[in-house]
Chains A and B, each alone.
Chain A
Amino acid sequence: MQKHQQKLNMRQSHVIQGFAPTLGLTIVYLSLVVLIPLSTLVFKSLQLTWDEYLNVIGNARVIASFRVSFLTALAAATITSFFGFIIAWVLVRYPFPGKRFLDALIDLPFALPTAVAGIVLATIYQPSGVLGQFLQDTFDLKVAYTPLGIVVALIFISLPFVVRTVEPVLQEFDFTMEEAASSLGASRWQVFVKIVFPNIFPALLTGFALSFARGIGEYGSVIFIAGNLPYVSEVIPLLIVTKLEQYDYAGATVIALTMLVASFLLLLLINLLQMWVRKRSGQL
């Protein structure tokens, strides 16, 4: 009770008031944009019985595409996190000519229509393409029209997420902490692992989660490079579209809902992990 009162008092002491209207707007907006469309999905799939539901989800082709979608998204998010961190590091830490140009380049995947990205990537990575031929000849590696191609497309479109979430945190990082660690005898590697990384990690996790979520839902760029072979390189969003084209609305919603719940649980897990990290490092 006392705590509750304290909270109320804190709210009243703000210079800019307006808790009620802003919260009201937030709820209305989120309802219109997120909740209502998503609940339609739930209601639609409720029309099916449990057996029918299992029948759709238990289908081997559906399970296979779930595996493809989640594994490629996971791989892409991991790779993007690693390189995105390095890119953010370079952009924040060192002055060099052409820095602004590079910086602008990062956001390009945001602006480009994903279909264009997919077509371009497919052209380059197909066996007769510039990079595709090289990879095929030297490493005997086939990228386009395989799950690897999906990963490449997802890496491309998720690049800005990690760079743009890590960048501001790195910018605000107090570099005297590094000097302090160094003066206490820590090697460069120890400074990075024990001082820099723990402070950047929550932001990196956010970037990872955003990339991952984007990767699971990505459709436009993937379908051009994936080859869309059932059981091998067919992603969930494509399967949903396929079902819709066959007028199997119930089937499409069931898959969509399952994917939604799975993604939600994974993102929740990442958020919990992030909270645990923050709590352990006194940032909460």
Chain B
Amino acid sequence: MSILLNNISKNFGQFAALYDINLEIPEGELVALLGPSGCGKTTLLRIIAGLENPDAGSVALNGKNITDQHVSNRGIGFVFQHYALFRHMTVFDNVAFGLRVKPKKQRPSEATIAKKVHALLDLVQLDWLHDRFPDQLSGGQRQRIALARALAVEPSVLLLDEPFGALDASVRKDLRLWLRHLHQELHVTSIFVTHDQEEAMEVASQVVVLNHGKIEQQGIPSEIYDHPQNAFVSKFIGQTNVFHVEKEDSQWLEHAGIVLDDPQGLIAHVRPHDIQIEKAQKPEESPIILKDWQHLGATIRLELSKVQSQANAANHIVYAQMPNEQFKNLNLNRGDHVLLQIKQAHWFN
């Protein structure tokens, strides 16, 4: 179902958690609410769920205003950051809970419930754990049980709060892909909260970037990455080199022999992979040297700095990125002088 948020505001005492949020989420999307911690993303998710009341504004589900409806009547599925599994119930009873608390007239028979619960546990590939208690499960298993429990009531909207936050890296990677495939299978409108931009880009079909209680940008992942609307989004999504053209950096750039054609603002953001590198034939050609590099799997990250600026070297490190093979062909060593060319920059004021 589609979700429409109108002028949502929320304060906690003096602190404004959300400020005049307007957001439309079309049916069937898998949306990431992305932002640094404390930006209000979890509060927004809880307001959609009805676990928190907005100070102003309205929430509409499929065109119907549900702002004043209690969470238990909204028909949403909520997956909590720490899963909130009922620790005194078995996995089976956890998943069956939503069906068993239905009013008598709508409640399916125990046999139907059992069939449905086992089907859901099959879906999350954990039916063999149905008689265990939550304390006996691993983090990844708990996460999937929490998801199965939320799906049992056939929610119109699925909300996930930092769904992978408490898991270790390899499990997280698996679950991300799994969630994306599950969404493609079920097509239920889903929103998940994350502070991990990589996760948002990998899983979501739409990304909403939040900062200080406001929406900075909304769009498909590639659009957000390729066309960040402001400096915050550009810096938050992926790595970026920041050059203050008006300040000392312009001198630095000039000195380094880098020409930024056609400046369109005061600050230039350059992605590491938008910097092209050549080996200098003679040291005099360029004051920039290769300081260090790191393997990031398929690509190499290079740390570049100017020769003389040892004292405040930290301010003047430029990161570039290139495929492994290209780096091998360049045949560079630490301390080699290199020539830089900036292929593309995003300009902000």
A residues contacting B by CB (< 8 A) are 174, 176-177, 179-187, 190, 194-195, 198-199, 281-283
Whether B80 pairs with A181 at a CB distance below 8 angstroms is: no
B236 interface residue per 8 A CB criterion: no
B78 interface residue per 8 A CB criterion: yes
Whether B51 pairs with A282 at a CB distance below 8 angstroms is: no
B287 interface residue per 8 A CB criterion: no
B residues contacting A by CB (< 8 A) are 49-51, 70-78, 80, 82, 84-90, 97-98, 101-102, 133-136, 146, 149-150, 152-153
Whether B87 pairs with A282 at a CB distance below 8 angstroms is: yes
Cα of A194 to Cα of B100 in the assembled complex, Å:
11
Whether A185 pairs with B88 at a CB distance below 8 angstroms is: no
Task: Given A179-B80, A186-B101, check contact A282 B90 (CB 8 Å).
Answer: yes
Q: Which residue of A lies closest to B106 (CB)?
A: A185
Task: Given A179-B51, A181-B97, A184-B97, check contact A199 B88 (CB 8 Å).
Answer: yes
- What are the residues of chain A within 8 A of B72 when measuring CB–CB? 182-187
- What are the residues of chain A within 8 A of B149 when measuring CB–CB? 180, 184
Whether B71 pairs with A183 at a CB distance below 8 angstroms is: yes
Cβ-neighbour of B84 out of A176, A185, A282 (below 8 A):
A176
Cα of A177 to Cα of B72 in the assembled complex, Å:
13
Whether A183 pairs with B78 at a CB distance below 8 angstroms is: yes
- What are the residues of chain B within 8 A of A176 when measuring CB–CB? 80, 82, 84
Cβ-neighbour of B101 out of A177, A187, A281, A283 (below 8 A):
A187
Whether A185 pairs with B102 at a CB distance below 8 angstroms is: yes
Cα of A94 to Cα of B77 in the assembled complex, Å:
28
- What are the residues of chain A within 8 A of B153 when measuring CB–CB? 184-185
Cβ-neighbour of A182 out of B71, B133, B134 (below 8 A):
B71
Task: Given A184-B97, A186-B72, check contact A198 B88 (CB 8 Å).
Answer: yes
- What are the residues of chain B within 8 A of A186 when measuring CB–CB? 72, 97-98, 101
Whether A174 pairs with B84 at a CB distance below 8 angstroms is: yes
Show 7 A/B contacts (Cβ-Cβ < 8 Å), sorted by A: A176-B84, A180-B86, A182-B51, A183-B51, A183-B78, A184-B98, A184-B149
Which of B70, B73, B80 has the most chain A CB within a 10 Å cutoff?
B80
Cα of A243 to Cα of B218 in the assembled complex, Å:
86
- What are the residues of chain A within 8 A of B97 when measuring CB–CB? 181, 184, 186, 194
Cα of A183 to Cα of B153 in the assembled complex, Å:
10
- What are the residues of chain B within 8 A of A198 when measuring CB–CB? 88
Whether B78 pairs with A185 at a CB distance below 8 angstroms is: no
Main secondary structure of the interface of B (DSSP, over half): loop
Whether B88 pairs with A183 at a CB distance below 8 angstroms is: no
Cα of A199 to Cα of B70 in the assembled complex, Å:
24
Which of B49, B73, B87 has the most chain A CB within a 10 Å cutoff?
B87
Cα of A136 to Cα of B75 in the assembled complex, Å:
54
Which of A174, A177, A184, A199 has the most chain B CB within a 10 Å cutoff?
A184
Q: Which residue of B lies closest to A195 (CB)?
A: B86
Cα of A140 to Cα of B281 in the assembled complex, Å:
110
- What are the residues of chain A within 8 A of B135 when measuring CB–CB? 282
Cα of A182 to Cα of B70 in the assembled complex, Å:
9
Whether B133 pairs with A282 at a CB distance below 8 angstroms is: yes
- What are the residues of chain A within 8 A of B88 when measuring CB–CB? 198-199, 281-283
Cα of A179 to Cα of B146 in the assembled complex, Å:
13
Cα of A190 to Cα of B98 in the assembled complex, Å:
11
Whether A199 pairs with B87 at a CB distance below 8 angstroms is: yes
- What are the residues of chain B within 8 A of A174 when measuring CB–CB? 82, 84, 87
Cα of A181 to Cα of B101 in the assembled complex, Å:
9
Task: Given A185-B72, A186-B72, A282-B90, check contact A180 B101 (CB 8 Å).
Answer: no
Cα of A25 to Cα of B3 in the assembled complex, Å:
66
Q: Closest approach, in angstroms, between the C-beta of A269 and any C-beta of chain B?
A: 22
Whether B84 pairs with A194 at a CB distance below 8 angstroms is: no
Q: Which residue of A lies closest to B100 (CB)?
A: A194
Q: Closest approach, in angstroms, between the C-beta of B22 and any C-beta of chain A?
A: 24
Q: Closest approach, in angstroms, between the C-beta of A14 and any C-beta of chain B?
A: 22
Cα of A111 to Cα of B347 in the assembled complex, Å:
73
Task: Given A182-B72, A185-B101, A187-B72, check contact A177 B86 (CB 8 Å).
Answer: yes
Whether B84 pairs with A179 at a CB distance below 8 angstroms is: yes
Closest 10 CB pairs of A and B: A282-B133, A281-B88, A184-B98, A176-B84, A180-B84, A183-B78, A186-B101, A198-B88, A182-B71, A182-B72
- 4 more A-B residue pairs beyond the given contacts A281-B133, A282-B136, with a C-beta to C-beta distance below 8 A: A180-B78, A183-B71, A184-B72, A199-B88
Cβ-neighbour of A183 out of B49, B89, B102, B133 (below 8 A):
B49
Whether B90 pairs with A185 at a CB distance below 8 angstroms is: no
Q: Closest approach, in angstroms, between the C-beta of A200 and any C-beta of chain B?
A: 10
Q: Closest approach, in angstroms, between the C-beta of B152 and any C-beta of chain A?
A: 8
- What are the residues of chain B within 8 A of A179 when measuring CB–CB? 51, 71, 78, 80, 84
Q: Closest approach, in angstroms, between the C-beta of A105 and any C-beta of chain B?
A: 30
Task: Given A183-B49, A183-B51, A183-B76, check contact A177 B98 (CB 8 Å).
Answer: no
Q: Closest approach, in angstroms, between the C-beta of B120 and any C-beta of chain A?
A: 13
- What are the residues of chain B within 8 A of A183 when measuring CB–CB? 49-51, 71-72, 74, 76-78, 150
Q: Closest approach, in angstroms, between the C-beta of A50 and any C-beta of chain B?
A: 47
Whether A181 pairs with B86 at a CB distance below 8 angstroms is: yes
Cα of A177 to Cα of B97 in the assembled complex, Å:
12
Cα of A186 to Cα of B70 in the assembled complex, Å:
11
- What are the residues of chain B within 8 A of A185 when measuring CB–CB? 72-73, 75, 98, 101-102, 153
Which of B86, B146, B153 has the most chain A CB within a 10 Å cutoff?
B86
- What are the residues of chain B within 8 A of A180 when measuring CB–CB? 78, 80, 84-86, 146, 149
Q: Closest approach, in angstroms, between the C-beta of A283 and any C-beta of chain B?
A: 7
Q: Which residue of A lies closest to B75 (CB)?
A: A185
Cα of A194 to Cα of B89 in the assembled complex, Å:
10
